[in-house]
Chains A and B, each alone.
Chain A
Amino acid sequence: MAVVFQKPKSLTDAELHYCPGCTHGIIHRLVAEAIDTLGIEGKTIGVAPVGCAVMAYNYFACDMVEAAHGRAPAVATGIKRSLPENVVFTYQGDGDLASIGMAETVHAATRNENITVIFVNNAIYGMTGGQMAPTSLPGQVTQTSPYGRDVKVAGYPVKICELLAGLDGPAYLERVAVNNVKNVKNAKRAIEKAFRNQIEGKGFSLIEVVSSCPTNWGMTPEKALQWVEEKMIPYYPLGVYKDKTEEVAK
């Protein structure tokens, strides 16, 4: 018998602190699998966010830097400019990347900074206990939108892939989800591509991963994944939003 599935070696032995059923664990594993597959653990440097994934530095076995809230793309820019031969990725949530760190996100993208950004969109601030995120859906009930997100007051959700696709800079933008086996496998392919793009010098790649937060959504893990399918994905359609990687190759 051969092992067909086991924990990737680019994850440490540290036990994940995430809530039961939180898909951060799946996304961590996909990132680690990409690092393993490409054989780049020894030259990869990750940048952790502020948010639920703040302690990602304990989970990835590669060198890690913990950034201030939203600043990961700027920190990654510094690292990549210092060590262009290394592989640099950020792992950020929606509050981090799409709210407080919007300027850093947009400008790293428009510079086509040769980094990989893993953007976890679960439509809520998890770490602080379930407040409205820049990506919370219209009508979504959160601690700070107790009557549902009123777009007349709080505005509309930020669609990062669509927004960044309007820039000339970024090389690759794709939105995936991790709510079922098929989507997880597709997310794995996309994340691996985002790392490969960097190795091939193609520039800024961002993978938005539509994800769940059972605890703060107030659902069972299984129900939360159904909510991803029924509510999140229709608002955040999956697919490739920009791909300059082929034209660069020509």
Chain B
Amino acid sequence: MAKVTFQTDLCKGCGLCVAACPKKILVIAKDKINKKGHSPAEMTDQSQCIGCAFCATMCPDCVITVEK
């Protein structure tokens, strides 16, 4: 059981977290726009998250907090 939270308004939608996720459960939410004007990253299926923190490791903007 792991939990990943995004500070969505800090996200620049670069997609490095999406590429790093081994479970392929992160996407860039093309239908959303945050305060900065970017489409932010979000998780599609929290239940599959293993809490590896690869996403947070590659995030250049400290958007992601991981709990396990």
Contacts and interface: CB of A to CB of B under 8 A. Distances in A.
Contact of A21 (B2, B15, B67): B15
Given A220-B15, A221-B14, A21 B60 contact: yes
B65 A3 contact: yes
Interface in B1-19: 1-3, 10, 12-16, 19
A128 interface: no
Interface of B: 1-3, 10, 12-16, 19-20, 38, 51, 53-54, 56-62, 64-68
Interface stretch (A12-20, A47-55, A201-209): A12-20
Nearest to A15: B10
5 contacts: A4-B67, A4-B68, A21-B60, A180-B20, A181-B20
A152 interface: no
Nearest to A214: B14
A185 B10 CA distance: 23
B34 to A, nearest CB: 12
A122 interface: no
A221 B61 contact: no
Given A5-B65, A29-B60, A181-B57, 8 more contacts: A4-B68, A5-B57, A5-B64, A16-B60, A16-B61, A21-B16, A184-B58, A225-B16
B59 to A, nearest CB: 7
Given A25-B59, A184-B58, A4 B53 contact: yes
B60 to A, nearest CB: 3
A177 to B, nearest CB: 12
A117 interface: no
Chain A interface bracket (under 10, 10 to 19, 20 to 34, 35 or more): 20 to 34
Contact of B1 (A1, A3, A21): A1
Give the one of B2, B56, B62 with max A CB within 10 A: B62
Contacts of A20: 12-14, 38
Interface string A15-46: 11011111111100100000000000000000
A3 B58 CA distance: 17
Give the one of A5, A24, A220, A225 with max B CB within 10 A: A5
A200 to B, nearest CB: 27
Contacts of A24: 60
Given A20-B13, A222-B16, A222-B19, A25 B62 contact: yes
B25 to A, nearest CB: 16
A21 B57 CA distance: 13
Contacts of B59: 25-26
7 closest residue pairs by CB, A with B: A25-B60, A21-B14, A20-B12, A7-B62, A5-B66, A20-B14, A5-B53
